[in-house]
Amino acid sequence: MSTLKQQKEQFVSDLIGGSINEIYLITSIALTSYLSYKLLNNLLKDKLPFQYDFILNVFSILASITYYNNNIKLLHLVIILPILLLFLINSTYLTSTEPKKKKKQQSGKHVEELLPRKSFLTAYRSHMLIITNLAILAVDFKIFPRRFAKVETWGTSLMDLGVGSFVFSMGLVNSRSLIKSYSGNNTYQFNINTYINTIGKNILKSIPLLILGLIRLISVKQLDYQEHMTEYGIHWNFFITLGLLPIMLALLDPLLQIFPRALIAFVISLGYELLLNKTNLLRFVLVEDNRFNNVITMNKEGICSFIGYFTIFLFGQSFGSFTLTNYKTKNNLITINKIKVKKGGWLTVSTTTGLIISTIFYQLIFTLINSSYSFTNISRRIANCPYVLWVVSYNATFLLAYHLIDKIIPSGSNYTSNILESINNNGLLLFLIANLLTGLINMNINTLECNTWISIGILTIYSLIFTIIAIQLNKRRIYIKL
């Protein structure tokens, strides 16, 4: 008779995932919710009350990955149709009754801000965090389809995409500091003292996350919590992966100062793929007979997949130069820059143009590589090149979709969702809180025995808790950077 721990481990093991098209359809509920929120904002001319904000931006996503997972098209219609109908009726009424108002000319010069807060970026990042936080607990319940849980080795799933998207969004946000610190000096000269100082600073930045990784390791071992060994290994975990990213950035800083980040990411990803195909590295990672040989084999998945996650982070950074900025900067399609230009070559783009080009380019490259016999199949376990490009192409597409919603239905900054703003401002801290809540719930409840409605009830309360915590932190202007 297997123990409860063994049953829970088996529940998330040996899975093969689902289709990429379904993952797009499921996660696009976030886009439908964002569109609906903006339409309602335009109707009410004010922020929505908490209950409507929660239903649209959190509960709708929970419903999509649980109760409505087999009827997702209906959920899209249930969310958007009533709000769209109200919006059209209201727009028609206003057009026929309101007199035309003359536009007032603004006096004085308007100074454009380089890095303004963009509501579509807030929505993109917050929805990604909400889906991630919901999935890490929902995966332990039977109401969460097994095809959405992380695959064992080969294949695609919602959670496989989530972990990569988390890293991509971190890279995107991180590029804000790169743009701010851009000096405008195109000639880089290596200095050993500056290099060592950069490494030292980034090691200090990594310490909080590495400590969290160590705490998670100790707590999992001490509490005899269920583990999935082939995910990262015996000692490694996602916090360690996140903690090592700044250190790797510092080590490669001279190269990153000279070459575009996307180019370096491509080179590393293709080089890693070559090693997997032409050496024994792939077999080394996948076989189990070497698991307990040494500390490296014990954590071989975490060590090797770090290469892929690092390239995803670099790709995320490369998007910041045209996604975060409010105006065109020189050659911003491929390089970090903050020099404003009125005209430029084809490498100088607006946010819209940059996202359109990137979406087409990365979708095309991913399709070619994913269909090629020269590359391994998509694998989150080893974070190979097809997996990396899947994550990048998906995020490029969704960034473009969020941006177009903002372009089509613009609204003032006063109308942004309080929930999305709050979650965005403390994203990594809330991810930590969600992990702690997940562990607490699993240690006190046998999630495998919960029926549909008990499962939804627990997940709803859980989502309310981390949402309220986010709002309270934001209300008190507490922003904790890990």
Least confident of 118-122, 131-135, 222-226: 222-226
N-to-C CA span, the chain: 42
How distant is the alpha carbon of residue 9 from its chain centre?
25
Instruction: For residues 3 and 81, give the distance between their C-alpha atoms in angstroms, rounded to a whole number.
Output: 47
Looking at residue 221, its pLDDT comes to: 82
pLDDT tens figures, 455-480: 999 999 999 999 999 999 999 999 98
Q: What is the DSSP string of 291-303?
A: TTSSHHHHTHHHH
Distance from C-alpha of 297 to C-alpha of 294, rounded to nearest angstrom: 5
Residues in the chain: 482
CA–CA distances in Å: residue 242 to residues 155, 180, 221, 372, 389: 23, 22, 21, 30, 19
pTM summary value? 0.93
Cα-Cα-Cα-Cα dihedral sign, residues 131, 134, 136, 140: negative
C-alpha–C-alpha distance, residues 452 and 128, integer Å: 24
Mean pLDDT of the chain: 90
Question: Which tokens hold the place of 88?
Answer: 């059209």
Tell whether the model's pLDDT for residue 99 goes beyond 60: no
**Nearest-angstrom CA–CA distance, 232 and 306:** 9
% pLDDT > 90, the chain: 74
Of 451, 432, 470, the residue nearest 132 (C-alpha): 432
